[in-house]
Amino acid sequence: MTELPALLWFRRDLRLRDHPALLAAAADGEVVPLFVVDPALWGPSGDVRRVYLLRSLRALDASLDGRLVVEEGDPATVLPAVAQRTGARRVHVTADTGPYGRRRDQAVEQALAAADRELVRTGTNYAIGPGTLRTGSGSPFQVFTPFSRAWREHGWPRPAESPGSARFVADAGAGVGGAHWPAEPDLGDLVLPEAGEEAAARRWHDFLDERLDDYAGDRDRPDVNGTSQLSAPLKWGELHPRTILAALSSERSAGAETYRTEIAWREFYADVLWNRPETAREYYRPQLEALAYAEPGAAFRAWSEGRTGFPVVDAGMRQMRAEGWIHNRVRMISASFLVKDLHVDWRHGAREFMHWLRDGDLASNNHGWQWVAGSGTDAAPFFRIFNPVTQGKKFDPQGDYVRRYVPELRHLAGSAVHEPWAAADGYAEGYPERIVDHAHERKVALDDYARVRA
């Protein structure tokens, strides 16, 4: 009797190591590795995410000796067609927990069942699957600290074993929807780091060896190389958080503890999105939608292009356009400036970030924006308004970060770079003047919050 192959449908798990769905597919027999370019996801993506994804897929294809099948179209149509073409009875996936992914997988499952085939979900993209943890009363967690405590107490599995003897089909055929890889968009001068599983593993081990011990203090310093920059590999599943947590299991330093907490934040936001899928686009605290927001006009464009006249904000926005990434501390400063100084609805900023970021993750990005905007899961958040000058001086004390991305201010030494208006030659190289008065706009924001709260 001829052995039938199994399909392994890659999505946000672009790796071969620590991959339970791959092991489940390999247990069925030969594996057809497949990626579907879904127009519902590809269309809204910015070019930065498209390029990073394509490069990650090419790295995966190389590790599979050119066996990766890339199709284009609606997965509910593509998957049954590929299964019929290859003779596969089962399609294996890592469970998707996002709002669209859950709907899409249900449609694929129904389409496969109609053809007497099966969708098999194995594993999760998180250490603990979203929706797993509950409070003592059985309700979802709404605050991070108790979630983090429960997350640590629950624990997570060890990394999955090596795929070892997995056999991949070498001639699974060309695509049903067009038989081509999408063309890679031109990013101009924007430079991305190397993508793929091996590059992610190198970056992780370099961080472990060189920066983990200092992470607790350096993670907030955009002027130093103090973070792991693994957000994109985690987003695309080039590296699993379970792998990271296993490597940290014997580490007791402040840096290791802080890094575990950052992983917990990522898992918390995924859990919030699982339980409240509407909060990807809507307010977690709906009453704050009544704030007096401004239309995203000229001020929004100045913010998005890094021309606000506030150096650390502008450096962050220019970093994003140069690298497809922005330091987390500066993300918070820039987001606070848009919502609290320019009074623009957080959803406009969230969309701008998702357009430019290589690590654009719906749960982390949009709930991070809600946290800053005061409409999210934080217990008393709206009064947190970042002062861009004091934040710049505190976390970029010598101004190195600002000078790296704002060439018009490179003539200013040290912390003077954060207040060009105080230097006689601060605007000599064409840097724009401040578009708002922070102290005034802070008061406007707080007064408006008091109105809504009342």
Q: pLDDT tens for residues 170-203?
A: 877 654 434 478 999 999 999 999 999 999 999 9
Other CB atoms within 10 Å distance of the CB of residue 235:
24
Tell the residue number behind the tokens 């057809």, with chain if given.
32
- What percent of the chain is modeled with pLDDT above 70? 97
pLDDT range class, residue 2, cuts 50, 70, 90: low
Q: What is the pLDDT of residue 354?
A: 97
Query: In a 10 Å sphere around its CB, with 0-12 CB exposed, 13-18 middle and 19+ buried, how is residue 165 labelled?
Result: exposed
Closest alpha carbon to 16 in 43, 47, 56: 56
Q: Answer yes or no: is pLDDT of 453 > 90.
A: no
Query: In a 10 Å sphere around its CB, with 0-12 CB exposed, 13-18 middle and 19+ buried, how is residue 86 labelled?
Result: buried
Full-model pTM:
0.95
Q: What is the pLDDT of residue 454?
A: 79
pLDDT digits (tens, 9 = 90+) for 215-235: 999 999 999 999 999 999 999
Q: Answer yes or no: is pLDDT of 398 > 90.
A: yes
φ and ψ at residue 8, rounded to 5 degrees: -115, 110
The CATH number of domain 6-125 is 1.10.150.130: no
Domains 6-125 and 126-158+197-275 share a fold: no
> What b-and-e string marks burial along 129-160, b requiring 16 or more CB atoms within 10 Å of the CB?
bbeebeeeeeeebbebeebbebbeeeebeebb
Summarize the confidence of residues 95-122 as an average pLDDT: 97
Q: Rounded to an integer, what distance in angstroms lies between the CA atom of residue 379 and that of residue 386?
A: 17
pLDDT range class, residue 388, cuts 50, 70, 90: very high
The more confidently predicted of residues 365 and 454 is 365
The alpha helices in 276-406, defined as continuous H runs, are 298-305, 311-323, 328-336, 346-356, 362-373, 388-395, 400-405
Summarize the confidence of residues 76-80 as an average pLDDT: 97
31-37 β-sheet, strand order: 69-72, 31-37, 6-10, 90-95, 118-124
In order of 410, 412, 416, the CA distances from 430 in angstroms are 11, 13, 16
Q: Answer yes or no: is pLDDT of 273 > 80.
A: yes
Give the chain's mean pLDDT: 94
Dihedral sign computed on CA atoms, order 135, 139, 144, 148:
positive
List the structure tokens of 49.
């995410």
pLDDT digits (tens, 9 = 90+) for 278-293: 999 999 999 889 999 9
Other CB atoms within 10 Å distance of the CB of residue 245:
20
Domain ranges (residues) in the chain: 6-125, 126-158+197-275, 286-453
Summarize the confidence of residues 321-343 as an average pLDDT: 97
Fold of 126-158+197-275: 1.25.40
* Cβ–Cβ under 8 Å, residues 73 and 177: yes
Q: Answer yes or no: is pLDDT of 249 > 80.
A: yes
pLDDT digits (tens, 9 = 90+) for 305-320: 999 999 999 999 999 9
- What percent of the chain is modeled with pLDDT above 90? 90
CATH number of 286-453: 1.10.579.10
pLDDT range class, residue 379, cuts 50, 70, 90: low
- Spatial neighbors of 224 by CB under 8 A, at least 6 apart, are 218
- Ranges of beta strands (E only) in 62-117 are 69-72, 90-95
* Cβ–Cβ under 8 Å, residues 53 and 233: no
Q: What is the pLDDT of residue 176?
A: 40
Q: What is the pLDDT of residue 173?
A: 64
Give the SS3 label for residue 124.
strand
Residue 334 sits at the vertex; the CA angle it makes with 330 and 338, to the nearest 5 degrees, is: 170
